[in-house]
A and B are shown apart, each in its own frame.
Chain A
Amino acid sequence: MSNDEVGTSVALSETEADERLLDRLAGFSAEQTGLAVAGFAGFLAVWYVAALFQPTYLLPSPVEVLAAFVVELTAPASLSIPFTGAELPATRLLVKLIQSLYHYVPGLLIGTSLGVFAGVAMGWNTRVDSVFTPVTRLLRPIPPLAWIGFAVIWLGVNHQGATFIVAIGSFWINFYSAYGGVEGVSEDLKEVAATLGVDDDWTMIRKVVIPAASPSIMTGIRTSIGQCWMIVVAAELIVGVGVGYEILNTAQNLAMDVSVAYMLVISIVFLVSDGLFRRVERRVLEWRA
């Protein structure tokens, strides 16, 4: 028996992976990190200098933005908990951020679940596909924000309205990634499963189709996690609460430093949520070559 062949192959792949990681980290720390720091410092410098010659209401300087950020982050405010009437002490920035999360999290969860469900159903069953393809083609090009009128008259100028818009946005992203992923599942794997005793659709979907399509589904979820922060800001401009509204509201009062501080909040939460999901993705798709 060929344990030599076996042993070397695995040992090699492990060392290779380690070396590649080390190379990357080393390369990163040496040149790339330097360039990245230089690029960012350059950006701040240009911004700073440009802001010297402008009043704050035209272009706030990075220092003013940072100061505004700290003020918003620390200024006390009370957070009302929906459906309970309770009030919790918090800060202005936290209140706005949590309001946005009320739109973002449920919208993302609803849109993602429905999108993945619809994508898998249509990708799996050609008859379902034929029935719904014309409708999806018709509805797909409509930007989520175009539904804002319906969101307002159906659900009101409130959290549910913004949630609805976010859900539509994440629905389409996840629908197409799941659909494509399921369509791309190899016939071979389905045949292997059939010869190993899988004889109903549900087992095939659960044990073969969804795992095989999971890289594509995960990409869809990650894309929508990012895109939905863009959508939530836009939706909040209309429904009048949250970080998105604060960006507009402060700008309308010419408090541009505060407005940019809230833009910064969006960047930070995007980077954090994307980073966290990447870690989840790496763990879930550990098996991938």
Chain B
Amino acid sequence: MSDDANADTGAAANTAATATSPDDTAKVSVDSLGKTYASDRRTVEALSDVEFAVEDGEFVCIVGPSGCGKTTLFRIIAGLEDATSGAVTLDGSPVTGPGTDRGMVFQEYGLFPWRTVAENVAFGLEEQGVEEPARSERVTEMLELVGLDGFADAYPKELSGGMKQRVGIARALAVDPELLLMDEPFGAVDAQTRDMLHGELLDIWTETDKTVLFVTHDVEEAVTLADRVVVMAANPGRVREIVSVDIDRPRERTESEFAAYVERIRGLIGE
């Protein structure tokens, strides 16, 4: 990789971003985002000029091969990492660090093992200063939403992978975030459970009207879930194309339309 050339592109992209104002109507706007990891000997460009917007209430999936920087992108939107150039804005304000306006769901669940299911879901509410009984009511509401009422007092060790991720979703939604950010949330569960969780997630999405940004490497998963799919390419990580999936839900994998989308996206990725 030619480092100098890339650095130049990054600088140019940066100027462009300040010149054009971000999309004000969008829920999330990713503008000319670049990320370069520099060490003593070499620099690696993880993301280059990534640009897309997510509308309010939209379900957007980000797919791409490994090494396309989708997890880096997820972490920058989450505020867990800084961008080298460009910006992410949520409701018009720039993201500068982690915050409860973005509810995060992680592949490895990230549950606090010393807390029961209910206590996990209550964590963010405690930080927000929500007092009892409002807190417990909210927790109960969330557990009902994900179908885990009756497991409030169980510890994470007692749960299956699918159940753990339901807790993860309930915990992220409890603080009523503007955006639900999910990084390969169903990557660690078996295929059957994954199918079930897809249906449940779409139900939750419909019920809560949340905006969802969902990172996956699984093209079929993206086509099952998304309104639009941001297809990324690697070296450096960049947006190859944004595909609108115009199929009515629930979508069946056996439909020819479904297969056509999957094929098209796979073609873009180069699988």
**A, B from the same assembly:** yes
Spell out A's residues near B (CB within 8 Å).
1-3, 5-6, 9-10, 13, 188-189, 191-199, 203, 207-208, 211-212, 214, 286-289
Q: Is B56 an interface residue (CB 8 A)?
A: no
With A211-B112, A288-B113 in contact, do A195 and B80 touch (Cβ < 8 Å)? Answer: yes
- How many of chain B's residues touch chain A, expressed as a range? 35 or more
Within 8 A of A (CB), among B107-163: 108, 110, 112-116, 123-124, 127-128, 147-148, 151, 154-160, 162-163
Q: Return the contact of A195 from the options B78, B108, B114, B148 (Cβ within 8 A).
A: B78
- Whether the Cβ atoms of A196 and B106 lie closer than 8 Å is no
- Whether the Cβ atoms of B155 and A287 lie closer than 8 Å is yes
Residues of A with C-beta under 8 A to B35: none
What is the CA–CA distance of A9 and B102 in the complex, to the nearest angstrom?
A: 31
Q: Is B43 an interface residue (CB 8 A)?
A: no
Name A's interface SS.
helix
14 extra interface residue pairs, beta carbon distance < 8 Å, beyond A2-B162, A9-B160, A195-B99: A2-B193, A5-B163, A6-B147, A6-B148, A189-B112, A196-B123, A197-B100, A197-B128, A198-B127, A203-B127, A207-B123, A212-B114, A287-B157, A288-B113
- Whether the Cβ atoms of B124 and A10 lie closer than 8 Å is no
Residues of A with C-beta under 8 A to B155: 286-287
- Whether the Cβ atoms of A196 and B100 lie closer than 8 Å is yes
Q: How many A-B residue pairs have CB under 8 A?
A: 87
- Whether the Cβ atoms of A195 and B127 lie closer than 8 Å is no
| 17 examples of A-B residue contacts, CB within 8 angstroms | A2-B147, A6-B148, A9-B159, A13-B158, A192-B110, A195-B100, A195-B102, A196-B100, A196-B123, A196-B171, A196-B175, A197-B99, A197-B100, A207-B123, A208-B112, A214-B114, A287-B155
Distance in angstroms from A208 CB to nearest chain B CB is: 7
- Whether the Cβ atoms of B163 and A6 lie closer than 8 Å is yes
Distance in angstroms from B270 CB to nearest chain A CB is: 31
Distance in angstroms from B10 CB to nearest chain A CB is: 26
